[in-house]
Amino acid sequence: MSIIQDLQTISNDRAMLLDEKLENLLRIGTEILRLETGIVSNIRGDQYSVQSVVTPGDSIPEDAKFSLFDTYCADVASAGSVVAYHNIDIQPGASHPCFEKYTLKSYLAAPIHVFGEFYGTVNFSSLSPREEVFSALETDYLLLLASWIGNELERQQALNNLKAQKVVLEERNSLLNQITNLAGVGTWELNVDSGSIVWSGALKRMLHVHSERVLKPDEIVNFIVSEEQRKSYVNQFQEMIKTGEDFAYEVEVKTDAGEPRWLESRAHPIMENGRCVKVIGATVDITQMQIDKAVLRHKSELAESALKARSDFLANMSHEIRTPIHGVQGMLEALLATPLNAKQMELASIASQSAEALLNIVNGILDFSKFGSGEISFEEAPTSLSETIEEQIPMFLRLAEEKGVEFSASIASVKGITFIADKLRVGQVLINLLNNAFKFTKKGEVTLETKCTRYGRGRYRVKLIVTDTGIGISAQQQKIIFTPFMQAESSSERRFGGTGLGLSIVKQIVEHYDGKIEVSSELGIGARFTATLTLDDANAGAMAEKRSALNACYTPSKEELSTLKALIVEDNEINQLVIKEQLREIGLASDLAVNGEDALEKVKRSIAEKSPYAIILMDCHMPIMDGLEATKQIRKLGHQSSTLPIIALTANALTKDKEKCLKSGMNDFISKPVGVSRLKECVFRHLSMQFENNVSALKDPA
């Protein structure tokens, strides 16, 4: 019993280190077995390492290493059980490799197992042989000692593993704390059963809470400023505990220091057997994000206000500039229609050309602004490009004759094909390119060429190529030629004039049709502009015929026109004279109303007197009552007024202005300034419906 007591005493001594325990156990073994050397070995593969040793004179150092096959322990490793050699000379004899290297004469060893795996041996040996063989009691003691040592090694390894895991865990916790602190993340944990809450230091600092303060759930809820948010938070938190689904929320809080902050938190429930036992979460301060959102929202509102102000400014400027231009052009047009001598005709023509140039500048600026603000619209309809070009050729032939240059156009490639396109916008491309070509060409020629190729089913690639022999464009200038306000070199700009918007508008129109505009040029030789457009096929004849039918217009005779009267609603005195004179030239008599209220009264009176107006030309901006409200009131007067053609004749030219006019009940929209021909076409188009239906009751609505 004393042996077992000694083993137990040594094993239970928690103050004793493992090395000391092994040494004491080996020392007891040498005394009991009467063998001078005791060793605990660790065997890995074919390497034998001394882990603990007791020997006379300390002749074997700890950590000494040997080849396993040069030791008797190789027999233990092979057998997996106790090996006992009381006299080496007898067994195993001189043939054993260890016999030649070492002078051992007696050897007893047992295998050590740690966690069920072979670890090594506990062995005892002596330089002198024993007379008697090892007894069963000595073998049992050895096995008991091997088991005891195995248990101690297991315990030590377990402790080492725990320490290693603890170190790793501490390192990870430290790293996690550093990361959360750097990221500004505060973590927390709620024990659902006890209601206890643990907050990280980062979260306490976030809410200016003292580091030693212990918080309760109701105290945490009170950080939320809004009562409504507080109730919503509690309800959603309770729902999360029931369902086990994650919960994310943003709340405005007031810290312990009284500072308002915004927090975003995410909570994750820990479920056991379908019940939430714990909730863990992470919280970040999003105050700056909320401030940034508010600033961005404010900037967006400012930008929207600026866009509205810009749009209003464009509308006002369009109205204010176009109104006097309309007066100038109208009066010049009327003047040119009167008998004039050659000098007077020359001066009036120059003035008319100047007014036209001024209008082109205004239109260019307005079109560019429309593109920039998204106001521009495209009216896609079946269009014959050959007809569109042919309509422009006479004008450019006259211009070529005036400048003494040649002009030729080759349009065979687009003849007989009808495309879906906006005739006005395609015309703008053509006019801008040809105007530029003539502007910068003093001698030589200007040519227009078209090319048309199939581009998939039902589509075409159309090229409009304008070539001139003018002053040319430098390589540097070609890089910026399509940039607004910058296409002319400073010397050319002063010499030839222009706003620098034409080619920029061309570029935007061409890009609308999935195309591109290109330029190639050399100084002093000339330039070539190529506008490529991708256009849909309008199925040629069928849609073109339909369009022709829709656009068919009956032309009334002078006798028929003499029975009709128009109402001009206009507050500007010059425009009153212009429009009245234009209607007189068309052959239509007219009355005048100076504002919407006046117009409403005149329409009422005309109906009462059974001599209603055939058509109304309505300005939009007028004092007392504007044209939009006047139109709405006229439409309310009854059946006759509901079909009365009302045409907006206004200096406003933005898309939204047209939409407002049509929405108010007007039938059509013409922007000032307007020439006699365009006004005549519009008036006749609307009057033709009455003549075709033989509405004779218009003159005598009995």
pLDDT digits (tens, 9 = 90+) for 50-102: 999 999 888 888 889 999 988 999 999 999 999 999 998 888 877 787 877 77
Q: Per residue in 605-619, pLDDT tens?
A: 998 888 889 999 999
Q: For residue 246, what are the CA distances in angstroms to 168, 240, 241, 310?
A: 29, 6, 9, 48
pLDDT at position 485 over 60: no
What's the pLDDT score for residue 488? Answer: 47
pLDDT digits (tens, 9 = 90+) for 536-552: 888 644 444 444 444 55
Q: In sequence order, what are the beta bridge partners of 252?
A: 262
Across the range 566-576, mean pLDDT stands at: 88
> Three-class SS of residue 485?
coil
pLDDT confidence bin for 497, thresholds 50/70/90: very low
By C-alpha distance, which of 620, 603, 613, 623 is closest to 659? 620
Distance CA 230, CA 249 (A): 11
Residue ranges of domains in the chain, CATH in brackets: 3-160 (3.30.450.40), 183-290 (3.30.450.20), 305-373 (1.10.287.130), 381-490+497-537 (3.30.565.10), 558-698 (3.40.50.2300)
Q: Is the pLDDT of residue 596 over 80?
A: yes
CA distance 85 to 87: 5
As a whole number, mean pLDDT of residues 201-229 equals 85
What are the pLDDT digits (tens) for 393-402?
887 888 888 8
Q: Judge contact between 308 and 338, C-beta under 8 A.
A: no
Q: What is the chain's Cα-based Rg? A: 52
Backbone φ and ψ for 62, nearest 5 degrees, come out as: -65, 155
For strands 668-671 and 646-650, give the pairing: parallel
Q: Model's pTM, two decimal places? A: 0.40
Dump pLDDT digits (tens) for 261-283.
899 888 899 998 889 999 988 88
In 405-470, the DSSP E strands lie at: 406-410, 418-421, 445-454, 459-468
Q: Write out the two tokens for 210.
A: 């003292």
Examine the pLDDT at 692 and tell me if it is beyond 70.
Answer: no
CA distance 691 to 564: 11
Write the DSSP string, 150-212.
HHHHHHHHHHHHHHHHHHHHHHHHHHHHHHHHHHTEEEEEEETTT--EEE-HHHHHHTT--TT
Q: Is the pLDDT of residue 702 over 90?
A: no
